[in-house]
Chains A and B, each alone.
Chain A
Amino acid sequence: MENTSLAHHLLLAGLLFALGLVGVLVRRNLLVVYMCLELMLAAATLALVAFSRFNRTMDGAVLVFFVITVAAAEVAVGLALIVALYRRRGTVSSDRLDVLRP
């Protein structure tokens, strides 16, 4: 811990966020896209904890607590939506879910 600076943790968070963003843009399986979204959220919480730690305050960590709570609720609702979509259309590939495409 002695030698890691704020920049190192932000670098890790940024690279993790970039990986998640690439996954969201490239993948076609909705479940994997959703997991990549969660990865981006985790990267954001990592940056929050790092800032909170290096500014010697608890507020960022409490915000992460709320982010984890909201993410849990969001995952439950999102997965229910994906299951409902699968029931209607029989697929979770975003390539084949194109009824709104002109």
Chain B
Amino acid sequence: MPDGLFIFFAALTLGAASLLVLSRNAVTSAMGMILALVGVAADFFLLDAYFLGVLQVLVYAGAVMVLFLFIIMLLDTEDPAGAYPWKKAAGGLALFFLLAAGVLWLFHWSGAVPATPAGATPPELTAAPAEFATAAKAFGRLLYTKYLLPLEIAGLLLLTALVGVVSLSKDASDERA
């Protein structure tokens, strides 16, 4: 039986994600998305990944979702008025339950995921690994030794994205003039 905090945050995450999928208003969807990402960040905290949890809140729930809200407000994205599309929603719900049954079977009933990792004794399992306790330090060391090349590539990717966004958002009428 999982502990209460995990159940609370799992329910929060799944509820907010359902709000994202089911709401017709794009702003409500974005709010659900923010709540779901905060729930995921809380789950990172429960997994002792404190640095990643903070990063998730700052980058995802903060910067990325503000960008989303900005674009939603900028564009007029009203869904067409009329009756709520119940038929489509029912189809989506049926698909979700099918997928959920598959997930339940894979991770719960099939026994493919062991309750304890192979070779680990129970006291080792409950104690956090030493690296996770000093997460930011361990991250820095790994990023600048083992993962130096991926770090450089990520920097290049961010630069490329920057240039791409600038060239994409240029008004097409400017080129004709």
Residue A7 is within 8 A (CB to CB) of chain B in the complex: yes
Q: Which residues of A contact B44 (CB under 8 A)?
A: 46, 49
Q: Which residues of A contact B106 (CB under 8 A)?
A: 14
A6–B113 CB distance below 8 A? yes
Residues from 49 to 98 in B contacting A, C-beta threshold 8 Å: 49, 51-52, 55-56, 59-60, 63-64, 67-68, 71-72, 74-75, 77, 79-80, 88-89, 91-93, 95-96
The one of B30, B132, B165 in contact with A77, judged by C-beta atoms closer than 8 angstroms, is B165
A19–B154 CB distance below 8 A? no
Given contacts A25-B95, A42-B36, contact A7 B108 (CB under 8 A): yes
Q: Which residues of A contact B46 (CB under 8 A)?
A: 1, 4
Whole-angstrom distance from the CB of A39 to the nearest CB of chain B? 6
B139–A65 CB distance below 8 A? yes
In the complex, the chain A residue whose C-beta lies closest to that of B21 is: A23
Q: Which residues of B contact A49 (CB under 8 A)?
A: 43-44, 47, 49, 52
Whole-angstrom distance from the CB of B35 to the nearest CB of chain A? 11
What's the tally of chain B residues with a CB closer than 8 Å to chain A? 87
Chain A window 7-29, contacts with chain B (Cβ cutoff 8 Å), 1 for yes, 0 for no? 11111101111111111011111
Do most interface residues of chain A lie in helix, strand or loop, or is the interface mixed? helix
Q: Which residues of A contact B56 (CB under 8 A)?
A: 42, 45, 68
In the complex, the chain B residue whose C-beta lies closest to that of A64 is: B52
- Once bound together, how far apart are the Cα atoms of A71 and B104, in whole Å? 28
Residues from 131 to 177 in B contacting A, C-beta threshold 8 Å: 131-132, 135, 138-139, 142-143, 146-147, 150, 154, 157-158, 160-162, 164-165, 168-169, 171-172
A15–B103 CB distance below 8 A? yes
The one of A2, A15, A18, A29 in contact with B126, judged by C-beta atoms closer than 8 angstroms, is A2
Please name 14 further chain A to chain B contacts, defined as beta carbons within 8 Å, in addition to the given A26-B92, A49-B49, A82-B71, sorted by A numbering: A2-B3, A3-B2, A3-B3, A8-B10, A12-B14, A14-B100, A23-B92, A29-B26, A38-B60, A57-B129, A61-B51, A61-B139, A74-B161, A79-B67
A residues with a Cβ closer than 8 A to B are 1-12, 14-23, 25-29, 31-32, 34-36, 38-39, 42-43, 45-46, 49-50, 52-59, 61-62, 64-66, 68-77, 79-84, 86-88, 92-93
11 intermolecular pairs with C-beta atoms under 8 Å apart: A4-B3, A11-B104, A20-B17, A23-B92, A26-B92, A29-B77, A32-B20, A35-B68, A56-B117, A58-B132, A65-B143
